[in-house]
Amino acid sequence: MIKIAGLFLEEKRHAKLSAMISKRFFRRLGCCYCSLYSQPSLLYHFRNFSLWSMKKDLVLESALSRNRRWIVNNQIKNIILRYPNQVTPLKHLQKKFKTLDLQGKALNWLRKYPCCFEVYLENDEYHCRLTKRMMHLVEEEESVKDMQEPVFVQKLAKLLMISMNQRLNVMKLNELKHSFGFPDDYVIRILPKYPDMFRLVNSSWRKSSMEIELLAWSPDLAVSAVEASAQKQGLEPCFSCSLPSTWVKSWQRFQEFNAMPYISPYSNSRSLEMGSKEMEKRIVGVVHELLSLTLWKKLSILKLGHFKREFALPEKLNVLLLKHPGIFYVSNKYQIYTVLLREGYNGPELVHKDPLVTVKNKFGELMQEGLHEYNQRRYSVNLEKKKKKGMNLVKAVRRKDGRAEMSDQDDSGDKLGGLFDPEERKRFYKVLFDEEAP
């Protein structure tokens, strides 16, 4: 009876404890729910988290692999070229490292790329300049830019023709100038040579309000990449889908969307209503044309969103892009949302490589060559250190073995009858103190 009563009390105690734990759990869950809905920003991210999800394409992800080292070294190259005689003191370059989001010493970074940068000591101060091979690539890039000047003029005119008022802010355009291949000094290099096509406008005389305006509309340039491809094939202009046949639902949605008449990004869209299917068709055409004008057929969605007013893009541009996976691929590689034009790639490689892309790839190869050389040298130094450590270790083991052998010999001598043997010690003292001993 006593045991049964004890078991009953134990069960009652466990039930009470579990009820108390459940009550606390649901109370904290309710607090978390209330705090989530009391903060609009958290609720917004919670609701919109799924909007960024897209089935990963490993081939295109590899094409999007952005080498951060290449970008940093390209910026360092541009910094060095701005200094007199293309030589910069290392202490000045060290100050720039914060803007490049780098930590550590500039000297250690530059020594990793001996094929690109040459560091030398002069008057007890380190200086840096580009190597001869690097300077050859810079000259080659400049010659390609000179040859590509008519292409830059056409691209700039097309961008202005797509915009609502044929005007674009210079500071906004500077964010995308490298994506389109424009040189750093494109405003000074291009605009004065073509006064009949472009002009600078600044109504408030502030640098941030400076705009480029198109003066002459060119019907020959108002042909999109989709329309040019259709003309070559003798077909009606329409988008192409680059999805596998297994994506049945995506193919059905694409065919429904593609059945609507194509709307050129160069057409006047003021009569179109925002949110309509026609406006969606026009926006997809605008993004498609912008990506076609870039070097790598990709753009940052964040930077593209800065042109919502100029290109009449929707507030939730990311949602629209995700609705068309057959035309665009959205990636979050390196935590940077990027939209890529699927038809611009054949596997991980570009279908058509711009001459500037070829030169920039050479710079990447030279950088990798220098990094490989640096790693080989470091590997050899570390290997020598390990060998020395290994030799010292072998010597230490040999010394230890030698000492062990000596101790073993001493132990064996004791066993044969040394001074530490009890019987031998008795005889020794007897001989020493007993005069009558023989």
Confidence of residue 413 (pLDDT cuts 50, 70, 90): very low
74: amino acid identity, one letter: N
List 330's β-bridge partners, or say none.
Answer: 339
* Spatial distance between the Cα atoms of 57 and 243, rounded to a whole number of angstroms: 10
pLDDT at 136: 94
pLDDT tens by residue, 321-361: 988 888 999 988 777 788 999 999 988 889 999 999 899 88
Question: Percent of the chain, pLDDT > 90?
Answer: 32
Q: Which range is least confidently modeled, 23-37, 100-114, 196-210, 253-267?
A: 23-37
CA distances from 398 to 393, 395, 411 (A): 9, 5, 20
Q: What are the percentages of helix, strand and coil residues in the chain, rounded to 5?
A: 60, 10, 30
Yes or no: say if 134 and 77 are a contact pair by the CB < 8 Å rule.
yes
**386-396 burial by CB neighbour count: b if 16+ within 10 A, else e?**
eeeeeeeeeee
Yes or no: say if 80 and 97 are a contact pair by the CB < 8 Å rule.
no
Residue 3: partners with Cβ closer than 8 Å, 6 or more residues away: none
* Spatial distance between the Cα atoms of 419 and 438, rounded to a whole number of angstroms: 19
Which CATH entry fits the domain spanning 148-222: 3.30.70, 3.30.519, 3.30.420, 1.10.20? 3.30.420
User: Three-class SS of residue 406?
Assistant: helix
Distance from chain centroid for Cα 159: 26
* Spatial distance between the Cα atoms of 141 and 321, rounded to a whole number of angstroms: 34
433: amino acid identity, one letter: F
Residues, the chain? 438
Residues of the chain with CATH 3.30.420: 63-130+356-382, 148-222
Both tokens of 322, joined, read 């995700």
Yes or no: say if 130 and 77 are a contact pair by the CB < 8 Å rule.
yes
Q: How big is the chain by its Cα radius of gyration, in Å?
A: 37
Distance from chain centroid for Cα 300: 11
- Residue 148, H or E segment: none
Identify the residue whose tokens are 């040298």.
377
β pairing state of 349-350 and 345-346: antiparallel
Identity of the highest mean pLDDT range in 31-45, 102-116, 221-235, 406-420: 221-235
pLDDT at 411: 47
Give the CATH fold of the 63-130+356-382 domain.
Nucleotidyltransferase; domain 5 (3.30.420)
